[in-house]
């Protein structure tokens, strides 16, 4: 493994593609191996123990690809498994919570910050914990929005039904006078235009996918891991794996990524259980 090794990225399904998209945009010279656990999504309704077990299986697979760093591109897995999966790894691992929390604490003017995410992410309290580490005075208001993942994965990104659902979820935050909203699920940046319309121009939207890509870029510099050569062809740079529904994943990925994916490989990740 060297500086030209790929970055490993994983998520419970397609939501982490928003992180992959930002990595492609912000760090275009880097190679990447992406795994989407499409057979076992969503993670947001699973127990902490299950999320840790799934995450460790995926980490073992990614290590077979000789990755030089790993991005946990899933808010639930970051909240429930990040610290556990860091143990014993000899490569850097980052999640999608810390960078977003830092930026939100910096841009908020009144210290009232909303966080939306899956049930697992909100109940973990990880965003509140991270925000208060940066600014103990902030007030954090969490709201679980479990229906939105399914709507995104159906492709209803600009649908009136999705807008109505977002509006109903946002009602609970309407009277909290928040000036900053963290889109605390990797699916949610795909609904940014709807959140902007519902939340209004006075609320700053924080996209963890973008902030995580920027954190990764800084990490590669500080660890001296930045790729030393340009791989011209996207097909050589990016590999995509899933645990189920490869064709559906490929169609969705090609609708949002800056490069077309020609091949998505399906594998049984449970084969990577601990000995």
Give, in order, the Cα–Cα distances in Å from 219 to each of 105, 114, 153, 206, 232.
Answer: 20, 27, 31, 20, 23
Both tokens of 202, joined, read: 């006075």
Domains in the chain: boundaries: 7-95+210-271, 98-208
171 dihedral zone (left: phi>0; alpha: psi -120 to 50; beta): alpha
Q: What is the mean pLDDT of the chain?
A: 93
Of all residues in the chain, the percent with pLDDT exceeding 90 is: 83
Annotated ligand binding at 11? The verdict is: yes
Give the pLDDT band (50/70/90) at residue 173. very high
Domain 98-208 has CATH 3.30.565.10: no
Rounded distance between C-alpha atoms, residue 142 and residue 161, angstroms: 22
Coil, strand or helix: which one is 10?
strand
CB 209 within 8 A of CB 71: no
202 dihedral zone (left: phi>0; alpha: psi -120 to 50; beta): alpha
pLDDT for the residue numbered 234? 47
96-153 confidence digits (pLDDT tens) = 999 999 999 999 999 999 999 988 889 989 999 999 999 999 999 999 999 998 899 8
Rounded distance between C-alpha atoms, residue 62 and residue 68, angstroms: 10
Per CATH, 7-95+210-271 and 98-208 having the same topology is answered yes
CB 101 within 8 A of CB 131: yes
Annotated ligand binding at 155? The verdict is: no
Annotated active-site residue 74? The verdict is yes
Give the pLDDT band (50/70/90) at residue 231. low
Annotated ligand binding at 187? The verdict is: yes
Residue 228 has pLDDT above 80, yes or no: no
Distance between start and end Cα atoms, the chain? 23
Question: Residue 47, class by beta-carbon neighbours within 10 Å (0-12 exposed, 13-18 middle, 19+ buried)?
Answer: exposed
Rounded distance between C-alpha atoms, residue 37 and residue 12, angstroms: 5
7-95+210-271 has which fold? Rossmann fold (3.40.50)
Residue 91, number of CB atoms within 10 A of its CB? 19
Strand segments, DSSP code E, in 112-237 are 112-117, 139-144, 180-183, 204-206
Rounded distance between C-alpha atoms, residue 237 and residue 170, angstroms: 39
Residues 145, 185, 227, 271: which is the catalytic one? 185
Annotated ligand binding at 75? The verdict is: yes
């Amino acid at each position: 493994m060297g500086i030209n090794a790929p970055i490993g990225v994983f998520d419970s399904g397609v939501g982490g593609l928003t992180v992959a998209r930002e990595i492609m945009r912000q760090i275009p010279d880097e190679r990447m191996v992406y795994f989407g656990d499409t057979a076992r999504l969503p993670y947001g309704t699973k127990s902490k123990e299950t999320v840790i077990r799934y995450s460790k299986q995926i980490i073992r697979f990614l290590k077979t690809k000789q990755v030089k760093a790993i991005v946990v591109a899933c808010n639930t897995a970051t909240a429930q498994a990040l610290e556990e999966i860091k143990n014993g790894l000899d490569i850097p691992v980052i999640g999608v919570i810390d960078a977003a929390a830092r930026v939100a604490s910096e841009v908020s003017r009144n210290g009232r910050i909303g966080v939306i995410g899956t049930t697992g992410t909100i109940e973990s309290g990880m965003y509140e914990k991270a925000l208060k580490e940066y600014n103990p005075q902030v007030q954090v208001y969490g709201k679980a929005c479990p229906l939105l993942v399914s709507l995104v994965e159906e492709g209803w990104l600009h649908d009136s039904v999705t807008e109505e659902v977002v509006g109903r979820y946002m009602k609970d935050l309407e009277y909290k006078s928040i000036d900053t909203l963290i889109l605390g699920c990797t699916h949610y940046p795909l609904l940014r235009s709807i959140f902007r319309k519902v939340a209004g121009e006075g609320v700053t939207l924080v996209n963890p996918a973008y902030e995580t890509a920027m954190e990764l870029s800084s990490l590669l510099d500080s660890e001296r891991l930045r790729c030393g050569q340009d791989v011209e062809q996207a097909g050589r740079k990016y590999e995509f794996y899933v645990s189920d529904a490869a064709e559906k994943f490929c169609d969705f990925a090609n609708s949002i990524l800056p490069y077309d994916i020609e091949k998505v490989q399906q594998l049984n990740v449970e084969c990577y259980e601990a000995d």
